[in-house]
């Protein structure tokens, strides 16, 4: 052309020019370029005060060293899935820790006792057993704890907080375990079974006390008379015999008792209440143990055996009286002549010789 400017010939409009794919290398370059352009747009600060190396989350800003791919708190995205149970996690590290449940891997070993743990935090807590460290101190009473969870539970003593409520009666508890034990009242669950007689109990402590019936163990000894008991509560009641303390008074007759349960049983004399009925003959009793002894009439059970002659008895007190035959013990002495007797009944009969009482008249 006269102007000296060269023009390229226009490319004819052909459909196959539009549809023809780009070469593989050029296509990859364009994809990367598009991704870079997108990343640059995401890093461009809306606030001039932010540096160009800051990611903008809708909730907060992240430094360039923070992976935006890991910042999934707000969107709830969980990309890492456990191949065993399908549980999902936000971070790869969380998945790795979880997978140890399935593999049984415990990579953190205690340098003192070589015990191993799944998590680093578990090892740290364990090591305090050896070091004696108790980093959690109560600001109220200065009592210290090894574990954060122990400290949290303790603080509720001072705050009065009871976060665990029963869904049945709305009674509240300081500890989760206390609520679990309480709920068995409503469900009737008795998960603790005696291996000897298969009797079941709601609480572990109740089973432990019951098992002492079979073993004969009496670990609680009175410091005054050395008498031993199966349970701590029985020892506490017994010790009041020595101190003379009877803090529970009947509102009707003012008679006093060493324990609340004794008072409750006594009050049924005034009310006439008999809560415990035999399922066989419907005879009623004021006390649970009276019903238990009575039921042995129907079952023919005689759980108390003499160690000398093997004779068995329905009641413990009858066994005790019987054993005096073998020991020669005479627990009951006449106040007039001092003669001794093995049973109260024998003493009563003897005393009539002194009093001249003849209570049985011929009809």
Whether residue 324 is contained in a domain is answered as yes
Q: Give, for all 363 residues of the chain, the pLDDT tens digit.
A: 444 444 445 544 444 444 444 444 444 444 444 443 444 444 444 444 444 455 555 555 555 444 555 555 555 688 899 999 999 999 999 999 999 999 999 999 999 998 999 999 899 999 999 999 999 999 999 899 999 989 999 999 999 999 999 999 989 999 999 999 999 999 999 999 999 898 999 999 999 999 999 999 999 999 999 899 999 988 998 999 899 999 999 999 989 998 888 899 899 999 999 989 999 998 999 888 899 999 999 999 999 999 999 999 999 889 988 998 899 888 888 998 989 888 888 889 999 999 988 888 877
Q: Given this model, what pLDDT does residue 360 score? A: 84
CATH number at residue 344: 3.30.160.60
Where helices occur in 20-105 by DSSP H, the ranges are 24-43, 92-103
Q: Given this model, what pLDDT does residue 69 score? A: 52
350 Cβ contact partners less than 8 Å away, ≥ 6 residues apart: 334, 339, 341
Q: What angle do CA 106, 112, 113 make, to 5 degrees?
A: 60
Question: In sequence order, what DSSP letters do the residues of 218-281 get, joined into one string?
Answer: --EE-TTT--EESSHHHHHHHHHHHH----EE-TTT--EESSHHHHHHHHHHHH----EE-TTT
Whether the model pTM is above 0.85: no
Whether residue 200 is contained in a domain is answered as no
Whether residue 87 is contained in a domain is answered as yes
Q: Given this model, what pLDDT does residue 71 score? A: 55
Whether residue 211 is contained in a domain is answered as no
**260 in Cβ contact with 248 (< 8 Å):** yes
Q: Given this model, what pLDDT does residue 25 score? A: 44
Q: Give me the domain span that covers residue 315.
A: 304-355
End-to-end Cα distance, the chain: 160
Whether residue 309 is contained in a domain is answered as yes
Domain count, the chain: 2
- Name 285's bridge partners: 276
Rounded to whole angstroms, how far apart are CA atoms 63 and 54? 5
102 Cβ contact partners less than 8 Å away, ≥ 6 residues apart: 82, 84, 85
Q: Are strands 108-109 and 88-89 parallel, antiparallel or unpaired?
A: unpaired
137 Cβ contact partners less than 8 Å away, ≥ 6 residues apart: 143, 144, 145
Whether residue 255 is contained in a domain is answered as no
Whether residue 264 is contained in a domain is answered as no
**330 in Cβ contact with 341 (< 8 Å):** yes
């Amino acid at each position: 052309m006269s102007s000296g400017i060269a023009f390229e010939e226009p490319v004819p409009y052909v459909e196959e020019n539009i549809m023809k794919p780009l070469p593989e290398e050029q296509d990859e370059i364009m994809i990367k370029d598009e991704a870079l352009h997108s990343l640059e747009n995401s890093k461009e600060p809306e606030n001039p005060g932010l540096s160009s190396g800051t990611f903008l989350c809708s909730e907060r800003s992240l430094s360039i060293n923070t992976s935006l791919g890991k910042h999934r708190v707000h969107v709830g995205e969980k990309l890492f899935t456990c191949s065993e149970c399908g549980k999902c996690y936000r971070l790869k590290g969380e998945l790795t820790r979880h997978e140890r449940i399935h593999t049984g891997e415990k990579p953190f070993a205690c340098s003192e006792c070589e015990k191993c743990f799944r998590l680093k935090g578990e090892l740290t807590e364990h090591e305090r057993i050896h070091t004696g460290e108790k980093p959690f101190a109560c600001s109220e009473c200065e009592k210290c704890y090894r574990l954060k969870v122990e400290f949290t539970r303790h603080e509720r003593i001072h705050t009065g907080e009871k976060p665990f409520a029963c869904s049945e009666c709305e009674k509240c508890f300081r500890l989760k375990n206390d609520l679990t034990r309480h709920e068995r009242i409503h469900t009737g669950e008795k998960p603790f079974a005696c291996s000897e007689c298969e009797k079941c109990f709601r609480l572990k402590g109740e089973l432990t006390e019951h098992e002492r019936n079979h073993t004969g163990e009496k670990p609680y000894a009175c410091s005054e008379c050395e008498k031993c008991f199966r349970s701590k509560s029985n020892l506490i009641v017994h010790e009041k015999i020595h101190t003379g303390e009877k803090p529970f008074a009947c509102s009707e007759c003012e008679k006093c008792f060493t324990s609340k349960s004794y008072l409750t049983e006594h009050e049924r004399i005034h009310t006439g209440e008999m809560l415990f009925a035999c399922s066989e003959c419907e005879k009623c009793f004021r006390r649970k143990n009276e019903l238990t002894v009575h039921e042995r009439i129907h079952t023919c059970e005689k759980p108390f055996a003499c160690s000398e002659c093997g004779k068995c008895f329905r009641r413990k007190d009858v066994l005790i009286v019987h054993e005096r035959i073998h020991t020669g013990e005479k627990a009951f002495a006449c106040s007039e002549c001092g003669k001794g007797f093995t049973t109260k009944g024998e003493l009563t009969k003897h005393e009539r010789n002194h009093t001249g009482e003849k209570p049985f008249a011929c009809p």
